[in-house]
């Protein structure tokens, strides 16, 4: 009898080890797949912004995107990841109620010399989970990149991108996108798909930069009226926007908590970043419905293919904060309403003398806030955290969260860009802008066959 019990005990231990290994492999694979999918976002921004630029600036628009991506990675490794785990409860660095925050916790798992941050990892998913967050950070820089094309200095842009992606965004994420975040625990803030902590932050950071950067030469007339400055390739821009949509699937996968080695797993992916229930099935319904609502709304208002595809992105951003909660027709309606409002917001900004080349403030800033606030309108009363007797989502909490995201984005964007402006590192000289940044800054040509159009191939 004792031998049988010992044998059963050994088999049970082996089974637990096998389950733990399976869980770890699944978790590792899930987050690993988010990374190439999110790289599609950056392929999309690359094509989108190069197409939205005039041909004389096409390569410079692409180069700044690629360099910003590359620069954010090491800064996020050394600083950004530690910020996320150190400051959810505030700048004091104290431990939160879930026990997964504060200086001591961050020092244990996120310092560069931690066992979780090197080749001999203590688990199988820390590196790929970190990688997913790096791609979120790089996305904020790409959002900034579109609004400032054709006149920003490369050095100034890289500095702004690092500040936004490795410091500002991740602090906001610690506050509102972490189970110990003070916006979550004190106000019930809910932002599953990062409408606020990624899009609103980046959109309002961009607004602060644009005020100091100023408009492109020729954008506004003496009477204040605006001229349309068309990009050189609308097809490239539309394809780029569709690639961003494809990459959004990886973006939203990264908002899901997947069981790791130390988790008990029921066989399903079922938790948001707050520990609250969600399913990939529900998320799929709502992503596609928000996408469709955004396209239809923007097309009905503008009949413009650029705004139609921006509406697709805007529709998803509009319903992203509550994409784990919506009944699918509601996601369609939320995306539709947001996309209908988006062109009017872009026109309002333009009438104030602000040259946002791709509508980044309207698409990401405004619709990011709309996505957060509509959760308070339509989803009040849902639990904001996993467990019993926990704080609930409320309109007041969402409104406070939206205000924090707007201020957290705008103030650093304005202040840092103002300092760069005073140092002469924000905007290229007038002569360079008129000639084109590719000619004066890039040792290559986007379209070399067009340099001497009067010369035939035979000559």
163 vs 118: which has the higher pLDDT: 163
261 vs 441: which has the higher pLDDT: 441
The answer to whether residue 31 is domain-embedded is no
The answer to whether residue 149 is domain-embedded is yes
CA 379/CA 368 separation, integer angstroms: 16
pLDDT the model gives residue 180: 93
Give 162's contacts (C-beta < 8 A, 6+ positions apart): 68, 71, 72, 75
pLDDT the model gives residue 126: 82
Could you tell me the residue range of the domain that residue 337 belongs to?
39-224+231-256+272-448
How confident is the model over 1-11, as pLDDT tens digits? 666 666 656 65
The answer to whether residue 265 is domain-embedded is no
Question: Residue 98: which pLDDT band, with cuts at 50, 70 and 90?
Answer: confident
CA 245/CA 320 separation, integer angstroms: 13
Whole-model pTM above 0.95? Answer: no
**Are the C-beta atoms of residues 63 and 254 closer than 8 Å to each other?**
no
The answer to whether residue 264 is domain-embedded is no
Q: Name the nearest CA neighbour of 169 among 128, 212, 133, 201.
A: 201
Q: Please check the confidence at residue 115 and state whether its pLDDT lies above 60.
A: yes
The answer to whether residue 2 is domain-embedded is no
How confident is the model over 223-273, as pLDDT tens digits? 999 999 999 999 999 999 999 999 999 989 888 877 543 333 344 556 888
The answer to whether residue 30 is domain-embedded is no
The answer to whether residue 219 is domain-embedded is yes
3-state secondary structure 248-285: HHHHHHCCEECCCCCCCCCCCCCEECCCCECCHHHHHH
User: CATH no. for residue 53?
Assistant: 1.10.3430.10
How confident is the model over 198-213, as pLDDT tens digits? 999 999 999 999 999 9
The answer to whether residue 178 is domain-embedded is yes
Q: How many domains does the chain have?
A: 1
CA 424/CA 403 separation, integer angstroms: 31
pLDDT the model gives residue 430: 95
**Are the C-beta atoms of residues 133 and 174 closer than 8 Å to each other?**
no
Backbone angles phi, psi at 383, to 5 degrees: -65, 135
């Amino acid at each position: 009898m004792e031998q049988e019990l010992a044998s059963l005990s050994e088999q049970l231990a082996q089974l637990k080890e096998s389950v733990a290994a399976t869980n770890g492999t699944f978790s590792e694979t899930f987050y690993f797949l988010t990374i190439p999918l999110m790289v599609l976002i950056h392929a999309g921004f690359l094509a989108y912004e190069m197409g939205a630029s005039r041909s004389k600036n096409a390569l410079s628009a692409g180069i700044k995107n690629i360099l910003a991506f590359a620069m954010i990675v090491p800064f996020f490794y050394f600083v950004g990841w530690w910020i996320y785990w150190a400051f959810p409860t505030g700048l004091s660095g104290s431990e939160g109620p879930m026990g997964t925050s504060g200086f001591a916790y961050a020092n244990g798992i996120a310092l560069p010399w931690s066992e979780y941050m090197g080749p001999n990892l203590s688990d199988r998913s820390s590196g790929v989970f970190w990688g997913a967050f790096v791609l979120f950070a790089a996305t904020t820089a790409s959002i900034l990149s579109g609004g400032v094309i054709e006149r920003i200095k490369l050095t100034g842009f890289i500095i702004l991108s690092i500040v936004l992606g490795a410091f500002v965004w991740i602090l906001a994420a610690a506050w509102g996108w972490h189970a110990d975040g003070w916006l979550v625990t004190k106000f019930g803030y809910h932002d599953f798909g990062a409408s606020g902590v990624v899009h609103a932050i980046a959109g309002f950071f961009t607004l602060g930069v644009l005020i100091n950067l100023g408009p492109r030469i020729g954008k506004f007339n003496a009477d204040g009226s605006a001229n349309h400055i068309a990009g050189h390739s609308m097809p490239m821009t539309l394809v780029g926007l569709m690639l961003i949509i494809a990459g959004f699937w990886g973006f939203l996968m990264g908002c899901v908590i997947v069981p790791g080695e130390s988790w008990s797993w029921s066989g399903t992916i079922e938790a948001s970043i707050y520990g609250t229930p969600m399913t990939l099935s529900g998320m799929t319904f709502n992503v596609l419905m928000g996408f469709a609502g955004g396209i239809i709304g923007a097309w009905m208002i503008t009949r413009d293919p650029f705004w139609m595809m921006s509406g697709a992105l805007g529709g998803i951003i509009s319903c992203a904060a509550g994409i784990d909660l919506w009944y699918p027709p509601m996601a369609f309606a939320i995306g539709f309403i947001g996309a209908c409002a988006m062109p009017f917001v872009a026109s309002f900004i333009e009438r104030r003398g602000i040259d946002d080349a791709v509508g980044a403030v309207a698409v990401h800033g405004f619709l990011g806030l709309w996505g957060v606030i509509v959760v308070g309108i339509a989803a009040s009363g849902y639990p904001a955290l996993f467990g019993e007797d926990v704080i609930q989502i409320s309109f007041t909490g969402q409104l406070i969260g939206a205000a924090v995201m707007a201020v957290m984005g705008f103030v650093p964007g304005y202040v840092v860009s103002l300092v760069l402006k005073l140092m002469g590192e924000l905007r290229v000289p007038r002569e360079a802008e008129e000639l084109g940044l590719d000619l004066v800054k890039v040792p290559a040509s986007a379209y070399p066959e067009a340099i001497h159009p009067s010369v035939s191939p035979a000559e």
